[in-house]
Amino acid sequence: MDVFSPAYLLDWAALLLRWLHVIVGIAWIGASFYFVWLDNHLQKPSAPELRARGVDGELWAVHGGGFYNPQKYMVAPPDLPQQLHWFYWESYWTWISGFALFVLLYLANANTYLIDPRVHAWSAPAAVAAALGFLASGWLVYDQICRRFGHKADGSIGNDGRVLGLIAVFVVGASWAASQLFAGRAAFLIIGAMLATMMSANVLFWIIPGQKQVIADMRAGRPVSPVFGQRGKQRSVHNTYFTLPVLIAMLSNHYGMLYSHAQNWLVLVLLMAVGVLVRVFFVQRHKGVQDWRLVAAALALLAGLIVWMAPRPAPAQAAAVTAPVAPTMAEVQAIVNQRCVMCHNAQLAQKGVQLHSPELIRQNAQALYQQAVVQKLMPMNNATQITEAERAVLGRWFEAGARP
C-alpha cells in the first residue's frame, strides 16, 4: 500500500526519534544545569549538627508550594541510605536516540547527506567510517588531554585552565577538518555529535563509575578517596561548557546560510564560542560574580559574525532592487525543472512535495521560498548546483505574489 511506503515510514521513524531525542536531551541538560546551579549556590551550614555530620553545603529553596533543603556532603554521608536517585539514563538515552537518528538519516543516506563532491569526492563507506571515526577519536583525544594535562601525580585534579585551552584548540581543528571532508550540513552535525559523545562518555566512564566506587567503599567500610568526586566534578564542569556549543551545532544545520558559507568551519567555531561565553557567564553568576565582559564579548562576536556573513548584492541585483520585475511562471518552472523536480515529482515526492507542474509549484510556493531562498536548505547540499541568481528569481516571483 502506498500509504505505508518506505519514505512515509522513514519520516515517521525520523519524527519519533527526533521527538525522543529532544525529550531526553531536555531532561539531561536540565539536570546538568540544575546541579551546576545548585553546587554554586550552596552555603556553609551554620548548624553544628550539620557540620558534625559532614555536610559541606546546603540550600533552602521554594518551588511549587513546597520547601526544599538539599545538602551536599564533604565526601559522603556517614550512613548511606539504600534508596539513591541516579542521574545517568538521561545522558545515555540522549546519546542513543541521537545516534540512532544520525544512522537513520545520515549514515544510511551517505551519498545524499554526508558527501558533497565539491568538498571531497569519496565513497559512501569511507564517509561513514570517517564520520564514526570523528565520534570515537573525539572522545579518545579529549580523554587523553584530561588525563595527561588535568591529573596530578596523586590522581587529583590540577589547573583545569590549560586542559580547557587544549580542548578548545582540538575542537577548532576538528571543525576545520570536518568541513574539508563532509557536506557542510553534515560537518556541523558531526562536530555537535562529537561533543555530545564526549559528554555522554564522561558520564559513562568517569562520573558514574566514580560515584559507584565511593558507594562501594562506604558500604565495605573502606576509606573514601576524594579523588573520585574531584574527577567527576571536572568532567561535569566540562559538560556544562559543552552544552550550548552542542545545541548551536545541532540547530545551525537547519540554516543553509551558515553551513553553506565558504568558511563554514569558522562560522561554526564562532557560534560555539558565543555559547561558551554565555555559559561561563551564567556559571560565574551562580557564584555571585557577574562578569558582563563575557556577555559583551559574546554579543560582539555575534554582531561581527552577522556583519561578516551579510550577503553583498551584485550590481545586477542592486538594480533589480530599484526596479523589481516579477519573473514569469515559465522562468520559475525552468529553474524548478532543472534543480528540484528530480526529487519532487510524481514518482519520487521527497517529504511529500511534488513540483512537476505549474499548479504544484504554486501550491508549494511557500515551502519552496522558505527552503530554497530564505534558508537555502534545498537542494540538499546544493546537489543540483542551483545558483544565487536562480534563487533570487524564485524569491522575486514569490514576493510578487507567486502568480501563475
On the question of pLDDT at 286 being above 70, the answer is: yes
The per-residue DSSP string of 31-78 comes to HHHHHHHHHHH-B---SHHHHHTTEEEE--EEETTEEE--EEESS--S
Residue % of the chain over a pLDDT of 70: 96
Mean pLDDT calculated for residue range 113-141: 95
The angle that helices 184-202 and 160-181 make with each other, rounded to 10 degrees, is 150
- Residue with the larger pLDDT of the pair 390 and 312: 390
Whole-Å CA distances, 348 to 32, 355, 356: 43, 10, 11
pLDDT tens per residue, range 188-197: 999 999 999 9
Whole-Å CA distances, 380 to 44, 139, 175, 395: 56, 29, 20, 18
Label residue 399 by pLDDT band (50, 70, 90): confident
Strand partners, 67: 62
pTM of the model: 0.83
pLDDT tens per residue, range 9-61: 888 899 999 999 999 999 999 999 999 999 999 999 989 999 888 899 999 99
